[in-house]
Structure 1
Amino acid sequence: MSGPAPFAPAFVEELHRLFHWRRDVRRFRPDPVPEAALAQGLRAFAGAPSVGLSEPWRIIRVDSAGAKAAALANFEQANAAALARQAPDAADLYARLKLAGLREAPVQLAVWCDEGTAKGRGLGAGTMPETRAYSVVCAITCLWLALRAEGLGLGWVSILDPARLAADLKVPDGWRFIGYLCIGFPEAEDDRPELEKLGWETRRGLPAIETR
């Protein structure tokens, strides 16, 4: 059976442009997210590779006012603690950073990994059980790029207390928190990370590769 024909150079160029313009978005317009665009992103999510074909991802759409308020309160407490841990020369800059779009994002998804799933029958995860979580991360990346192709932005919130979020959202035991995703139309477009623009960090460029 022959494989797919090579993609056209114009498509490859656009694909790399998509990679370049993928951003961690924290500033969203209030416009609603078209359900068809979200569904397109979730189809990309569902097509991601997973260890042993275990598909361990579990998604909760955080939609009610109460659930959103709980997530926001969780973030604010965790962020205050993170600010308190900053060195004096970094604290002022940290305090000015916008690190989540929880107030504005029209769509919010909490993504988990079911570490006890029987699907996949343990293939590949017996020696490295963490590959189930890696599989969920791969799926989020697929979603991220698919949404960007639809003109949408995604912000990955990690400044949260996972145990508190699990209790607030009543998730089953054995689910491992991976990420809280804020989705919507970006307030502005930029091809540079906001943390880089504000002087928090700089990109290193191509990764160093060692030879053994």
Structure 2
Amino acid sequence: MHDPNTPFSEPEKAGLYRAIHERRDVRSQFLPDPVPPQVLARLLDAAHHAPSVGFMQPWDFLVIDSLEVRRRVHGIFLRENEKGARQFTGERQQRYRSLKLEGILESPLNLCISCDRSRGDGPVLGRTSIVDMDLFSTCLAVQNLWLAARAEGIGVGWVSILDQDELAMVLGLPEPVYPLAYLCIGYVSEFLGEPELARKGWRRRLPLAELVHGNGWGQAPGDGELCKVLEGSCPR
């Protein structure tokens, strides 16, 4: 068994940071190649090793390869996407309609990561004040899977433009189970050099130095040296 107290080597650290910085929300680069079961098992195992409040492990993983089920989910997306488009006007709406925001049918595999909000025996340690900690825990499972997938050369796209109640009905989820993340998964033709929404001019990444505060909102952290390291001085 690997000793957890062994320091990470420089190549191991570099690999982790590379996966973080090169992770992309994939919509339109999916290949039809199937994801081997042993690779999918590694991704699910990575997700299952996410931290969770009270160690409640509220997640379940619905592996969806049925074209019929995916078509029904795609129908939900089309309806909700049209609603989303109508919330914008003018050039912004045109740009929205030009974006591809899912790969439900193009990806060889869909995966729904759900959150069982009733899991645990009675009150859950650490969730007695912030009841949504189970949802936050499940988000960490999503991120674990996403980073592991990037390391495996597999793309992941999170489809957030869905009616969750309709999705739960399509997937036959019991009452306390919430469909937190609907993911498209598969090998891709390429990983883009920057997020697709940045490349297409929807939004740019904010400067990190402008988002770091110290001890209170709007205050520079420490003596300001951290801000200097973070690509410039903090504008406080």
TM superposition score category, shorter chain reference: over 0.9
Deviation at 1:165, TM superposition (A): 0.7
Task: Select the structure with the greater relative contact order (CA < 8 A; seq sep ≥ 6).
Answer: 1
Deviation at 1:31, TM superposition (A): 0.9
Given that 1:52 and 1:120 are in contact with CA atoms closer than 8 Å, whether structure 2 keeps it comes out as no
Structure 1 position 208 matched with structure 2 position 212: yes
TM-score by length of 2: 0.85
1:48 to 47, 50, 56: 50
- Secondary structure of the residue aligned to 2:15 is helix
- Secondary structure of the residue aligned to 2:86 is helix
1:10 corresponding residue in structure 2: 11
Separation in structure 1 between the aligned mates of residue 130 and residue 155 of structure 2, nearest angstrom: 32
Separation in structure 1 between the aligned mates of residue 178 and residue 213 of structure 2, nearest angstrom: 31
Q: Which amino acid aligns with 1:17?
A: R
Given that 2:158 and 2:183 are in contact with CA atoms closer than 8 Å, whether structure 1 keeps it comes out as yes
Separation in structure 1 between the aligned mates of residue 118 and residue 38 of structure 2, nearest angstrom: 32
1:80 corresponding residue in structure 2: 82
2:200 corresponding residue in structure 1: 198
2:166 corresponding residue in structure 1: 164
Q: Which amino acid aligns with 1:25?
A: V
- Secondary structure of the residue aligned to 2:7 is coil
Q: Which amino acid aligns with 2:141?
A: A
Separation in structure 2 between the aligned mates of residue 38 and residue 92 of structure 1, nearest angstrom: 37
- Secondary structure of the residue aligned to 1:41 is helix
Given that 1:157 and 1:181 are in contact with CA atoms closer than 8 Å, whether structure 2 keeps it comes out as yes
Given that 1:53 and 1:119 are in contact with CA atoms closer than 8 Å, whether structure 2 keeps it comes out as no
Deviation at 1:15, TM superposition (A): 1.5
| Distance change >3 Å, CA 120–CA 142, structure 1 → 2 | farther
Deviation at 1:205, TM superposition (A): 3.1
- Secondary structure of the residue aligned to 1:16 is helix
2:103 corresponding residue in structure 1: 101
Deviation at 1:119, TM superposition (A): 4.8
Q: Which aligned pairs between 1:14-93 and structure 2 lie closer than 5 A?
A: 14-27=15-28, 28-93=30-95
Separation in structure 2 between the aligned mates of residue 73 and residue 5 of structure 1, nearest angstrom: 49
Larger radius of gyration: 2
Runs ≥4 in structure 1, deviation > 6 angstroms? none
1:188 corresponding residue in structure 2: 190
Structure 1 position 130 matched with structure 2 position 132: yes
2:118 corresponding residue in structure 1: 116
Q: Percent identity?
A: 37
Separation in structure 2 between the aligned mates of residue 10 and residue 146 of structure 1, nearest angstrom: 16
Q: Which amino acid aligns with 1:208?
A: V
Count of aligned residue pairs for this structure pair = 211
Q: Which amino acid aligns with 2:22?
A: W
Separation in structure 2 between the aligned mates of residue 12 and residue 75 of structure 1, nearest angstrom: 38
- Secondary structure of the residue aligned to 1:153 is strand
Separation in structure 1 between the aligned mates of residue 152 and residue 108 of structure 2, nearest angstrom: 15
Give 5+ residue unaligned stretches, structure 1: none
Give 5+ residue unaligned stretches, structure 2: 217-236
Separation in structure 1 between the aligned mates of residue 31 and residue 66 of structure 2, nearest angstrom: 19
TM-score by length of 1: 0.95
